[in-house]
């Protein structure tokens, strides 16, 4: 059973993805409640939203003024504030135990017909929902980074996810001006299952001296018509995120998913890509 009308969306986690999801939901007219564990993290989320709204407003890419959109988002550290949401999207860190705890908390505050979605990139929807009384209301809504810019959302169907919850997930994503595709709950879903080996192979090719990093990226961009080559894309995603995703996939799918040696070495050195100013390339801001 799902609600006929979704008016208020809860977001758990005000980090990179949670703040982006809150922003896009508010931009499309939803009331939003965005929850993190510390007030400081909520405020950081609002700072990211303000910056992004300002950039979009400067490009005339918003349906209304940033202030109106911003007012639709309530920031909180209070778990109970999620209790009046019609649908909740979880976007906390990529750790199964943490996500299971968050879903147990959500089950305690959200009544049975509230859909509980997870933005996980690599974890099993079925495992995240496994201890719940109502696993049929759990679905993957895998937004891409940066959420306000990327058009695609992957809807991931767990073993127990009900068809009406899956349909609602597509509808809600489409109401956020996104285009969806559907994946079964298999490791990495469609996107990361194919993307992570591609990135790791690009890194290995560089490490083995097949070509310069610029030529590897240029070759893939011009030769296969992708907007970014593997080394540039890895820097944008975050090398720690790529490493963690590759390790999770390798556990499930075997050795062909093992992370490239150079990826591990860069992460150990603290060079995590764009966010630290140094990855395969150097970044000024």
Ligand X SMILES: NC(=O)c1ccc[n+]([C@@H]2O[C@H](COP(=O)([O-])OP(=O)(O)OC[C@H]3O[C@@H](n4cnc5c(N)ncnc54)[C@H](O)[C@@H]3O)[C@@H](O)[C@H]2O)c1
Active-site residue set: 121, 142, 154, 192
Residue 166: its H or E element: helix 163-175
Applying CB under 6 A, among 119, 180, 183, 246 the residue interacting with ligand X is 119
Residue 37 interacting with ligand X (CB under 6 A): yes
Residue 93 interacting with ligand X (CB under 6 A): yes
Residue 23 interacting with ligand X (CB under 6 A): no
Residue 109: its H or E element: helix 96-109
Residues that contact ligand X, how many (by CB under 6 A) = 24
Applying CB under 6 A, among 31, 50, 84, 94 the residue interacting with ligand X is 94
Residue 138 interacting with ligand X (CB under 6 A): no
Provide, rounded to whole angstroms, the least separation between the CB of residue 77 and ligand X.
8
Q: Which is nearer to ligand X, 25 or 102 (CB)?
A: 102
Q: Beta strands of 225-268 (E only): which ranges? A: none
Q: Beta strands of 2-120 (E only): which ranges? A: 8-12, 31-35, 73-76, 87-90, 115-118
Applying CB under 6 A, among 2, 17, 199, 205 the residue interacting with ligand X is 17
Q: Which is nearer to ligand X, 39 or 164 (CB)?
A: 39
The stretch near ligand X (CB under 6 A) out of 58-66, 93-101, 254-262, 263-271 is 93-101
As to burial, measured by CB atoms within 10 angstroms (0-12 exposed, 13-18 middle, 19+ buried), residue 4 is exposed
As to burial, measured by CB atoms within 10 angstroms (0-12 exposed, 13-18 middle, 19+ buried), residue 154 is buried
Provide, rounded to whole angstroms, the least separation between the CB of residue 91 and ligand X.
4
Identify the bridge partners of residue 156 per DSSP, sorted by sequence position. Answer: 140, 183
Provide, rounded to whole angstroms, the least separation between the CB of residue 172 and ligand X.
17
Provide, rounded to whole angstroms, the least separation between the CB of residue 101 and ligand X.
7
Q: Which is nearer to ligand X, 94 or 207 (CB)?
A: 94
Gap between the Cα atoms of 9 and 34, Å rounded: 9
Residue 124 interacting with ligand X (CB under 6 A): no
As to burial, measured by CB atoms within 10 angstroms (0-12 exposed, 13-18 middle, 19+ buried), residue 76 is middle
* CB crowding 9-36: b at 16 or more within 10 Å, else e: bbbbbbebbbbbbbbbbbbbebbbbbbb
The stretch near ligand X (CB under 6 A) out of 3-11, 30-38, 164-172, 253-261 is 30-38
Strands 8-12 and 87-90: parallel
Residue 14 interacting with ligand X (CB under 6 A): yes
Token pair, residue 177, equals 């001006």
Q: Are 41 and 154 in contact (CB under 8 A)?
A: no
Identify the bridge partners of residue 142 per DSSP, sorted by sequence position. Answer: 154
Residue 50 interacting with ligand X (CB under 6 A): no
Provide, rounded to whole angstroms, the least separation between the CB of residue 92 and ligand X.
4
The stretch near ligand X (CB under 6 A) out of 15-23, 177-185, 211-219, 222-230 is 15-23
Residue 36 interacting with ligand X (CB under 6 A): yes
Q: Can you give the binding site for ligand X, defined by CB under 6 A?
A: 12-18, 35-37, 41, 91-94, 98, 102, 119-121, 144-145, 237, 241
């Amino acid at each position: 059973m799902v609600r006929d009308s979704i008016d208020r969306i809860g977001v758990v986690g005000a980090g990179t993805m949670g703040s982006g999801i809150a922003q896009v939901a508010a931009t499309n007219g939803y009331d939003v409640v965005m929850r993190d564990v510390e007030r400081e993290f909520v405020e950081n989320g609002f700072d990211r939203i303000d910056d992004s709204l300002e950039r979009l407003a400067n490009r005339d890419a918003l349906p209304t003024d940033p202030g109106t959109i911003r007012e639709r988002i309530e920031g909180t550290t209070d778990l109970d504030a999620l209790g009046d949401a019609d649908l909740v999207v979880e976007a906390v860190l990529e750790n199964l135990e943490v996500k299971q705890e968050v879903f147990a908390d959500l089950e305690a505050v959200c009544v049975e017909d509230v859909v509980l979605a997870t933005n996980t990139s690599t974890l099993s929807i079925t495992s995240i929902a496994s201890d719940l009384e109502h696993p049929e209301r759990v679905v993957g809504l895998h937004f891409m980074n940066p959420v306000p810019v990327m058009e695609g959302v992957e809807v991931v169907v767990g073993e127990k996810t009900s068809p009406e919850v899956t349909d609602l997930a597509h509808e809600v994503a489409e109401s956020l001006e996104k285009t969806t595709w559907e994946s079964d709950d298999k490791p990495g879903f469609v996107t990361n299952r194919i993307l992570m080996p591609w990135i790791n192979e690009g890194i290995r090719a560089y490490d083995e001296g097949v070509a310069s990093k610029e030529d590897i990226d240029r070759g893939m961009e011009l030769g296969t018509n992708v907007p970014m080559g593997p080394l540039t894309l890895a820097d944008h995603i975050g090398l720690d995120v790529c490493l963690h995703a590759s390790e999770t996939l390798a556990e499930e799918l075997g050795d062909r998913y093992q992370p490239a040696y150079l990826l591990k070495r860069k992460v150990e050195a603290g060079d995590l890509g764009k966010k630290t100013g140094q990855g395969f390339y150097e970044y000024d801001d």
